[in-house]
Amino acid sequence: MIDAPLALYQCTVPQDWLDYNGHMTESCYLLLVGNAADAFFRYVGIDEAYRAAGHSLYTAETHLHHLREASLGDRLGATLQVLDVGPKSLHLFHTMRDEATGEQVATAEQLLVHVDMPSGQVVPMPPDLHGRVTAIRAAHAVLPRPPAVGHVMGIRRPGGRRRPGDGGPGPNGPDAASEE
């Protein structure tokens, strides 16, 4: 049986993760996501031997949402949901929570690609690896799609106006910063 979502990584916020404001520095939120992704890689068989054979998963894109501060000694847990699997790529969603309160601390959406390291080319996953991540995706299909998936970053302006010269869309969702 495959857990939905997977809970593969926990940590306690150490002193060297704190910034000048006394809470976890923003780069360590990304470090937490990277550590959780590494735990997932080991779970599916992407370990030192796999990488020594010349293949790995590389991060192509990460969207990180900082939701609340984490402080020294906070115990954080990360869950991971496999949103989609392609022949050469994975779409993941991480949720980091304060284990004492259950509150979300951060979320991260990632797109990863399977790479032949000597050539630097994106290549299909071997059938056994693809089968493992596809089975996890099937188990995670029962989970709701997190609201932050696909979130577009931007500044909402009154009336949906755009900046002069901006050819992009107007309002960028309910979580976008407002200039009203």
Q: Where are the domains positioned within the chain?
A: 6-148, 150-180
CA of residue 28 relative to chain centroid, distance: 13
Q: Which residues contact 177 (CB under 8 A, 6 or more apart)?
A: 154, 155, 156
- Tell me the two tokens of residue 81: 């949901």
- pTM equals 0.85
Round to whole Å and give the CA distance between 22 and 80.
Answer: 28
Round to whole Å and give the CA distance between 84 and 146.
Answer: 13
Round to whole Å and give the CA distance between 134 and 127.
Answer: 10
In this prediction, residue 179 carries a pLDDT of 44
- Averaged pLDDT score across all residues of the chain: 91
What is the third-level CATH fold of 6-148? Answer: Thiol Ester Dehydrase; Chain A (3.10.129)
Round to whole Å and give the CA distance between 30 and 134.
Answer: 25
Q: What tens digit of pLDDT does each residue of 54-80 get? A: 999 999 999 999 999 999 999 999 999
Q: What tens digit of pLDDT does each residue of 82-103 get? A: 999 999 999 999 999 999 999 9
Round to whole Å and give the CA distance between 127 and 137.
Answer: 15
Low-confidence ranges of the chain (pLDDT < 70): 160-180
Q: Which residue carries 């304060």 as its tokens?
A: 98
Round to whole Å and give the CA distance between 57 and 90.
Answer: 9
- pLDDT above 90 covers a percentage of the chain that reads 83
How open is the CA angle 121-126-132, to the nearest 5 degrees? 125
